[in-house]
Amino acid sequence: MALKYSFLLGLFFYCHSVVAQHSFENNTIKKIDSLILYNKFESAQKITDSIYKELQSQKNSKALLLEVKYRKALILDRQNKLPNEPLQILLKLVDEAKSNNLYSLSCRVNLLIALCYEKVTNLELVNQYLNMAYDIYQTQKLENLYSTYCIRRSSYFRFLKQNDSAFYYANKAKEYAEKYNNETDLTDSYILLGIVAFRNKNYTSALEYYLLIKHYREKYNDTLSLAMSYINIARCFNEMKDFKKAMIYCDSSYFFFKSKSSLLYNFQYPKMKYEIFENLGNIDSAYYYLKQYHQEWEIVEKHEEKIKTKELEEQYQSKQKEAIINSKNQQLIFIIIILFVITVASILIVRQNRKISKQNKIINKQIGELSQIIEQKQMLLSELQHRVKNNLQHVISILEIQKESVDFNNIDELIRGNQNRIHSMALLHKKLHVTENVNEVELPKYIAELSELVKDSYDNHKKKIQLNIQCEIDIISLDKAFPIGLIIVELVSNSMKYAFAKRNIGIINIAITTNENKTENKLSYTDNGEGFDFNSTLNKGLGIELIKGLIGQLDGRFETNQQGGFELVIYFK
């Protein structure tokens, strides 16, 4: 009887110790997951290495050992390590998980492998491992992992630029992440929804998602990701033309980048500043940050080259240790292989350096072209400012003359007349804006558009007025184009108001020609209306006085005829 009780007591203590050990190990796994979630990777790495060594000596802890092994790969991935480091662990782990029927782990490993291949843009392998993960999820009904699968599938379609599919899976990921309280997947779903919304130019929705992401980044102290959140928010405000807020968020990101410098992200800040200043039209600042962006990008490329070289060195050292174990013949063969690998690597590095050198030349050339464009734009801006100032002075002069002329009984006529005069100036500036030469104008297009503009402003669609234009001068200086345009505005306005008042059909002819020696130009204006005496002292309207003043500005002379309508011929050089 005493032996029976002793056996039961021993069994109780054994079971209790097993349960206590299992509880301790599960709590340790949860602690590692919490550290990973809050981006405390160094602490997570220490605990993971410690428990991994302990579990290796225990025969009955295979499942827990593989779970810890998965966390080692997960920590490497979250630290933005190169994909080959976590892949070395995961590609072995996927077979071990499958052989031990650890379906949940197997599904998670396949999803993490898909992420690693996504980082090197090997979409074929991404799709392959996603399909394997989905088969496990579907057969084993692992609904709590469906949000992670949807995240990876949405990101896969994002790379394929299939926005509808990416949006669908991101929404599904959000739904299941909320259902199973998976904040990591929930944050990732916001990222993908923000990307898709931004691509679809739905900047308001994108901004909402990026602000939600910022909240989680702050919660988990994810400094670099928080900096990128500020950049994405700034990018949304930039597209929404709210440049003040865009600048605030962009500048905020700088402090995070500065506090935890990362070569992979440092170029984002000057790139965003360049885009904002470019939209603001601040060419000097845009050019400054464009140069800074290219400098940071060159550092990233050089850093990647160093990483590749370091990888080759590590491979060499690892294989050298194996060679010591092998025989002398194997050592010799191995050394030959290593030398061959180093030679190939050197060739690749030389080629890559040449590629970088070519890219630098292209960038320098683009910077030179940009500098030249900036200088041209500055000259154009200065010239246009000068022209605008002169034209505004013309408008003031016209209004002063008008103030002293006969009164207008119809305020509409007053406004329309001044509108047409200002339109002639605006159209002239439009012609300057689309040409590289700020001192010359294409006269045929200018005259045609201006005449039609004035005619249409008076046209009531009950009268049929035909406008015929002939222009033999292709290019003319801005100083002459301006008075010619205003003269035509006044003549067409007078014809439309008075010449056809008692008839419904009329013809206006405008011809600008030059003599055979090209020493003198002629502007001929006729209409078949009622006609009036241009030289009469009784006709003292602002239009006539303005035309005479503009003829004087052209250093020209004029002839007039009122038989059978109205005719005015102006000769100018």
CATH code of the domain covering residue 435: 3.30.565.10
Structure tokens belonging to residue 43: 């602490």
87 lies in some domain? no
Q: Residue 194, Cβ neighbours under 10 Å: how many?
A: 25
335 and 468 inside one domain: no
The candidate with the shortest Cα–Cα distance to 488, out of 424, 555, 441, 533, is: 424
Q: Which residue is it, tokens 């699968």? A: 149
309 and 399 inside one domain: yes
Per the CB < 8 A criterion, the answer to whether 443 and 471 are in contact is yes
Per the CB < 8 A criterion, the answer to whether 505 and 475 are in contact is no
Which of 354, 388, 404 is the last residue before a domain boundary? Answer: 404
Q: Mutual orientation of helices 542-553 and 478-494 as an angle, nearest 10°?
A: 160
The candidate with the shortest Cα–Cα distance to 484, out of 396, 492, 228, is: 492
pLDDT value for 127:
96
In degrees rounded to 5, what are phi and psi of residue 477?
Answer: -70, 155
420 and 553 inside one domain: yes
Angle at 463 between CA 462 and CA 465, to 5 degrees: 150
Distances (CA, A) of 224 to 192, 236, 268, 272: 18, 19, 11, 16
Q: What share of the chain is helix, strand, coil (3-state, %, to 5)?
A: 75, 10, 20
H or E element that contains 272:
helix 268-280
- Whether the pTM exceeds 0.75: the reply is no
373 and 327 inside one domain: yes
Domain count, the chain: 3
Using one digit for the tens of pLDDT, what is the confidence trace for 26-58?
787 888 888 888 888 888 888 888 888 888 877
548 and 498 inside one domain: yes
Distances (CA, A) of 9 to 1, 14, 19, 20, 550: 12, 9, 15, 16, 119
Q: HSE on the CB side for 60, CA within 13 Å?
A: 4
Which of 372, 404, 436 is the last residue before a domain boundary? Answer: 404
321 and 397 inside one domain: yes
Per the CB < 8 A criterion, the answer to whether 111 and 152 are in contact is yes
428 lies in some domain? yes
Q: HSE on the CB side for 141, CA within 13 Å?
A: 0
Residues facing 559 on adjacent strands: 569
81 lies in some domain? no
Distance CA 264, CA 271 (A): 13
H or E element that contains 25:
helix 2-37
543 lies in some domain? yes
Radius of gyration for the chain, computed over Cα atoms and rounded to the nearest angstrom: 40
163 lies in some domain? no
For residue 306, which amino acid is it? K
Strand ranges of the sheet holding 566-572, from the earlier edge strand across to the other edge: 464-471, 505-514, 521-527, 566-572, 557-561
Q: Which residue is it, tokens 């194996």? A: 322
pLDDT value for 335:
85
Structure tokens belonging to residue 524: 């001929």
412 and 561 inside one domain: yes
pLDDT value for 423:
58
267 and 388 inside one domain: no
412 lies in some domain? yes
Please report which residue ranges of 79-145 form alpha helices under DSSP H. Answer: 84-99, 103-119, 123-140
Question: What 8-state DSSP symbol labels residue 468?
Answer: E
Per the CB < 8 A criterion, the answer to whether 401 and 546 are in contact is yes
Structure tokens belonging to residue 158: 């994002």
442 lies in some domain? yes
332 and 260 inside one domain: no
Q: For residue 215, give its domain range.
A: 201-280
Burial (CB count within 10 angstroms: exposed 0-12, middle 13-18, buried 19+), residue 308: middle
Structure tokens belonging to residue 298: 């060159």
Contacts made by residues 38-44, CB under 8 angstroms, sequence distance 24+: 38/220, 38/221, 39/78, 39/220, 39/221, 39/222, 39/223, 41/75, 41/78, 41/79, 44/71, 44/75
Distance CA 370, CA 6 (A): 90
Burial (CB count within 10 angstroms: exposed 0-12, middle 13-18, buried 19+), residue 536: exposed
436 and 398 inside one domain: no
pLDDT mean for each 10 residues of the chain (573 residues): 49 44 68 84 88 80 89 88 86 92 95 93 95 96 95 96 96 95 92 94 94 85 82 94 93 73 68 91 90 79 55 48 58 84 87 85 84 66 55 58 53 57 57 57 88 82 88 88 88 87 89 85 92 71 80 91 86 90
Distances (CA, A) of 328 to 83, 334, 451: 34, 10, 96
431 and 567 inside one domain: yes
Burial (CB count within 10 angstroms: exposed 0-12, middle 13-18, buried 19+), residue 505: exposed
Per the CB < 8 A criterion, the answer to whether 127 and 156 are in contact is yes
pLDDT value for 262:
56
Distance CA 293, CA 67 (A): 42
pLDDT value for 573:
86
pLDDT value for 292:
85
546 lies in some domain? yes
468 and 551 inside one domain: yes
The candidate with the shortest Cα–Cα distance to 77, out of 93, 88, 63, is: 88
pLDDT value for 434:
46
